[in-house]
Amino acid sequence: MNIPEKVRIGSVDYDVQLTKENLVCKNQESYGWIDYNYHLIKINEALQDKQGLEQTFLHEMLHGIIRERNLNVENEELIVEEIALGLHQVIRDNPKIFKDKEE
């Protein structure tokens, strides 16, 4: 799986940045975060390997989907984390289903 430099969530284009800077969210070190105002996803590449980066990207993207679809999700962090991990597994186990037959 490749982490893109940009991703569109709903009608909004988000820049995706891999960084070595310390990311803090709610006074806690984070693997990544999404900024809805500046349309930015940052992922700390110093704390995790390639698979971790992929999982974090999916995690932040799911937060963006919830926000863009105006969903009210109880236990959002738990739900997002579990779906991100499950989706990452499906993508890794079935990479061909996300490619056109012509590729």
pLDDT at 96 over 90: no
The 10s digit of each residue's pLDDT in 44-71 is 999 999 999 999 999 999 999 999 999 9
Does this model's pTM top 0.85? My answer is: yes
- DSSP string for residues in the chain: -PPPSEEEETTEEEEEEEE-SPEEETTEEESEEEETTTTEEEEETTS--HHHHHHHHHHHHHHHHHHHTT---TTHHHHHHHHHHHHHHHHHH-GGGGS-TT-
What is the rounded distance in angstroms from the CA atom of residue 60 to the CA atom of residue 42? 9
Q: Which domains does the chain have, with CATH numbers?
A: 6-95 (3.30.2010)
